[in-house]
Amino acid sequence: MSQFITITPDSALRLIEEKGSDITILDIRPKEEFELEHIPGAINLDYDGHRFEEKVDKLDKTKDYLIYCKSGVRGGYFMSKMRDTGFHRAYNILGGFVGWKISNLPLNK
């Protein structure tokens, strides 16, 4: 069953804890921001709104993804593009990295 929803930072943390390595965390912020700090276990897929297909070509469409950008807006757009191109399941963090950070959740610095 396909599922594409925006979830709170606390729900995102629970999802990460429940799914472990069965979920891929995508940080779609610029590489420079990712290198300063990011959610533990995240991989950087710098997304500027263009060349979506190039960015996701190597991703497995059957896997589960947790997406975040800086504030949640680009993450929502990215998630809808995933839905439109045949991915099965993706979650966007409400408020993006800012929401995660102000919720005092774990960070890699």
One-letter identity of residue 58: K
Q: Which two tokens stand for residue 39?
A: 């959610």
Phi-psi region of 24 (alpha: psi -120 to 50; beta: other; left: phi over 0): beta
Identify the structural domains of the chain with CATH numbers, from first to last.
3-102 (3.40.250.10)
| pLDDT per position as a tens digit, 20-53 | 999 999 999 999 999 999 999 999 998 876 777 7
Mean pLDDT across the chain: 93
Q: What is the pLDDT of residue 89?
A: 96
| pLDDT per position as a tens digit, 75-95 | 999 999 999 999 999 999 999
Sign of CA dihedral 26, 30, 33, 36: positive
- Model pTM? 0.93
